Amino acid sequence: MRSVEVARETKETKIRIILDPDGSGELLIETGIPFFDHMMTAMAKHGGFDLICTAAGDLAVDCHHTIEDIGIVLGDALRKVMGDGRGIRRFSHAIIPMDESIATVALDCGGRVFLVWHGTFGNKTIGTIPTDLFEHFFYSVCARAGITAHISFTGKNDHHQCEAAFKAFGIALGRALEMDKNPEIVRSTKGTF
């Protein structure tokens, strides 16, 4: 089992994440932000990993700190799962449609940090979340985990575009973290991440 637990507490938020990439589908997402709960659930469910994420944040201010810090803690958990890269597939991609929308995600879980984000939402918010926070969330995850991610989406309905992106990220992430047929190999010409 590669289950990890990471917690972070600041003056703005208190976040706890338990992540198991080899899990059986156990999900508990309680962030206090209903639409974000929906996105995190979709990501983990389709990614095939267990995820417990509980968060208490200064939502009376807005949801920025909570979503950003969940990204930070999830990134820290992913970094622990990735370790030195030994045995994981490292690269993966997914293309996911949702009605008129489609999202494409390509990942390198190899220690290099980069996010390329292509897509535009039609409205300023989805649920109660400013749409610029979704890119910021994925940047926080990538920066802490050491992931390069290319995320692109198109469509007409903001909910569909966002959900397709989260599902595609989850599927690509689940595949990239799968154990390789050779559990001792590090998928790098350098021999290390």
Q: What is the mean pLDDT of residues 76-94?
A: 93
18 domain residue, yes or no: yes
pTM: 0.94
Q: Check pLDDT > 70 for residue 189.
A: no
Any idea what the CATH number is for the domain that residue 138 is in? 3.30.230.40
Q: Provide the number of structural domains found in the chain.
A: 1
- Determine contact, residues 25/45, Cβ cutoff 8 Å: yes
29 domain residue, yes or no: yes
Element of type H or E holding 51: strand 50-57
139: helix, strand or coil: helix
Q: What is the pLDDT of residues 105-157, one digit of tens each?
A: 999 999 999 999 999 999 999 999 999 999 999 999 999 999 999 999 999 99
85 domain residue, yes or no: yes
Beta strand 114-118 pairing with 148-154: parallel
70 domain residue, yes or no: yes
Residue written as tokens 């599927």?
Answer: 171
